[in-house]
Chains A and B, each alone.
Chain A
Amino acid sequence: DIQMTQSPSTLSASVGDRVTITCRASQSISTWLAWYQLKPGKAPKLLIYKASSLQRGVPSRFSGSGSGTEFTLTISSLEPDDFATYYCQQYRTFGQGTKVEIK
């Protein structure tokens, strides 16, 4: 099975910061990767699919890049609503999550 490893596990940042989260696959997955945002008590939200395609309705400050085994999710300027936990996903496997918290 393909393993997905996210880093960091926790990230402290301030409003306005540029934030980057990395996801590594144990073998090449081409661009088959998605990013999700989770907040307690709310429905998880698809942000990025196919590594770099922005889901409809997601703000353009979110972007994804990468192919093969290394991928990144970037938030260009952190907003208060962005403090959440982010997961990458390849098919039926999720990364372990990255919690973005207030610095």
Chain B
Amino acid sequence: EVQLVESGGGLVQPGGSLRLSCAASGFTFSSYWMNWVRQAPGKGLEWVANIKEDGSDTFYVDSVKGRFTISRDNAKNSLYLQMNSLRAEDTAVYYCARIMGGGEDYLDYWGQGTLVTVSS
């Protein structure tokens, strides 16, 4: 069974840093692109970043470029999101999600999310 479990969320002050983790199991992690998607309180879904199977390519939404870094450790079946210079508008539930294989660019499995609150 495919499982994605996020951790690392919490309360952080503006300007602070946080590192989110996503533990993957039930599939060959190193064979899939992975994503972070967020949902701010009362708002819709927003794609944040994704990373190629081997970590060689990464992409970000403009609002987090230069502040967030997505990475992965295929030996540990883990995905990460390092978030620096956090702002109030980064407050959201952060989900990790797998891109369906076979050339289909859809998010077929998601975790339950971890809440990040940026506030003084």
Listed in ascending order, the chain A residues whose CB lies under 8 Å from chain B are 32, 34, 36, 38, 41-46, 49-50, 55, 87, 89, 91-97
Contact = CB atoms under 8 A, between A and B. Distances in A.
B97 A44 contact: yes
B44 A44 contact: no
Interface residues of A: mostly helix, strand, loop or mixed? loop
Given A34-B107, A94-B47, A43 B113 contact: yes
> Chain B: interface secondary structure?
strand
Contacts, number: 54
Interface residues of B, number: 22
B32 to A, nearest CB: 14
B68 interface: no
**A34, A42, A55: residue with the most chain B Cβ atoms closer than 10 Å:** A34
Given A49-B100, A91-B105, A41 B45 contact: no
Given A49-B104, A89-B106, A92-B61, A43 B44 contact: no
Nearest to B112: A43
Contacts of A92: 47, 59, 61
A55 B108 contact: yes
Interface string B37-66: 101000011110000000000010100000
A96 B107 contact: no
